[in-house]
Structure 1
Amino acid sequence: MEAEGGGRAAAGCLYLVDTLVGDPEVLQADAETYYEKLLKKPSSTPDVFSIPGREEVKLEDSSVCFVPLYRNNPTCKLLLLTDPKDKETVLAVYLNQRWWPVEDVVKTADPSRDGLISVQTFRERIVLFVLNYVIFGMLEGSSANDAFFLPHSATECAKILWRNSEAVAFYSVKMKGSLCDGTTSQCYLLPVLDTIFVRRKYRRGGLGMKMLHDFCQSFVAEDALGISCPISAVMYQVCQKFLQTYPEEQKRLWEVEAPGDWSQRVNIWLKIQMESSPSGKAEAGSRMEKAQTSKPRQSDVDQTNKGVECIPGVGKVAGDSTEKEDDTAAAAGTRSSQGPEQEDFEQGAGHAQQSKGFRKRAGPGGLVGDKATKQCRIIP
Structure 2
Amino acid sequence: MEAEAARRAAGIYPVDILEDDPERLWEAGLAYYATLRERVRSSSEVFSLPTGEQVKLEDSSVCFCTVHRDEPQHKILVLVNPQDTKTVVAVYIKGCWWSTEDVLRTSDPAREGLMKVQSFGERIVLFILNVIIFGRLERNLDDDDMFFLPHSVKEQAKILWRNGAAVGFYTTKMKGGLCGDGTGACYALPVFDTVFVRRRHRRQGLGLAMLRDFCETFKGDEALGVSSPISPAMYRVCRKFLMSHPEERGRLWEVEPPGAWGQRVSIWLKIQLQHASLPN
Question: Taking structure 2 as the reference length, what is the TM-score of the superposition?
Answer: 0.94
Partner of 1:5: 4
Give the equivalent residue in structure 2 for 1:90: 88
Partner of 1:255: 254
Alpha-carbon distance between aligned partners in 2 of 1:254 and 1:213, rounded to the nearest angstrom? 14
Tell me if the contact between 1:66 and 1:78 (Cα under 8 Å) persists in the aligned partners: yes
Distance 2:108 2:231 in 1: 35
Residues 1:270 and 2:269 aligned together: yes
SS in 2 for 1:54: coil
Distance in 2 between residues matched to 1:195 and 1:155, nearest whole Å: 14
Q: Which residue of 1 aligns with 2:166?
A: 167
Cross-structure match for 2:56: 58
- 1:119 and 1:261 map into 2 onto residues whose CA distance is 28
* CA distance, structure 1, for counterparts of residue 227 and residue 141 of structure 2: 23
- Residue by residue over 1:286-309, the C-alpha shift from the partner in whole angstroms, topping out at 9 and shown as x without a partner, is xxxxxxxxxxxxxxxxxxxxxxxx
Q: Does 1:81 align with 2:79?
A: yes
Q: Is the 8 A contact 2:172 2:190 kept in 1?
A: yes
| Larger RCO, structures 1/2 (Cα 8 Å, 6+ apart) | 1
Work out which of the residue numbers 31, 34, 44 in structure 2 matches 1:33. 31
Is the Cα–Cα contact under 8 Å of residues 146 and 231 in structure 2 kept in the other structure? no
Report the 3-state secondary structure (helix = DSSP H, G, I; strand = E; otherwise coil) of the residue aligned with 1:196. strand
Q: TM-score normalised to the size of structure 1?
A: 0.70
Residue 240 (structure 2) pairs with residue 241 (structure 1): yes
Identity of matched residues, %: 54
Counterpart selection for 1:106 from 82, 90, 104: 104
Deviations 1:30-87 (A, max 9, x none): 1011111111111111421112332211012221111110012211111111110122
CA–CA separation in structure 2 for the residues paired with 1:147 and 1:85: 26
Pairs within 5 Å for 1:176-215: 176-215=175-214
* Counterpart amino acid of residue 239 in structure 1: C
Q: Distance in 1 between matches of 2:198 and 2:20?
A: 29
What do residues 321-372 of structure 1 show as CA deviations (whole Å, max 9, x unaligned)?
xxxxxxxxxxxxxxxxxxxxxxxxxxxxxxxxxxxxxxxxxxxxxxxxxxxx
Displacement of 1:14: 1.0
> Does the Cα contact within 8 Å between 2:226 and 2:253 map onto a contact in 1?
yes
The structural deviation recorded for 1:22 is: 5.3
Q: Provide, for residues 174-232 of structure 1, a one-character-per-residue CA deviation record: whole Å limited to 9, x for no partner.
A: 00000100111111000001100001110000001000000000001101000000001
Q: Which runs of 4+ in 1 moved over 3 A?
A: 8-11
Normalized per residue, the structure richer in strand is 2
Instruction: Provide the aligned C-alpha RMSD in A.
Output: 1.7
Which residue of 1 is the match for residue 120 of structure 2?
122
SS class of match (1:67): strand
Q: CA deviation at 1:89?
A: 2.2
Contact (CA 8 Å) 1:3, 1:49: kept in 2 or not? no
Q: Which residue pairs with 1:332 in the alignment?
A: none
* Secondary structure in 1 matching 2:78: strand
Answer yes or no: is the 8 Å Cα contact 1:3–1:48 preserved in 2: no
Higher helix proportion (structure 1 or 2): 2
- The alpha carbon displacement at 1:23 in A equals 2.0
**Local SS of the residue matching 1:123:** helix
Shift of 1:275: 1.5
Give aligned pairs, total: 277
Aligned to 1:47: 45
Given that residues 9 and 104 in structure 1 are in contact (C-alpha distance below 8 angstroms), is that contact kept between their aligned partners in structure 2?
no
Report if the CA contact (8 A) 1:46-1:60 is conserved: no
Q: Would the aligned equivalents of 1:9 and 1:100 in 2 still touch at CA under 8 Å?
A: no
Cα separation, 1, equivalents of 2:182 and 2:68: 17
Paired residues of 1:161 and 1:169 also in contact (CA < 8 A): yes
CA, structure 1 residues 9+227, in 2 after alignment: closer, same or farther (shift >3 Å)?
farther
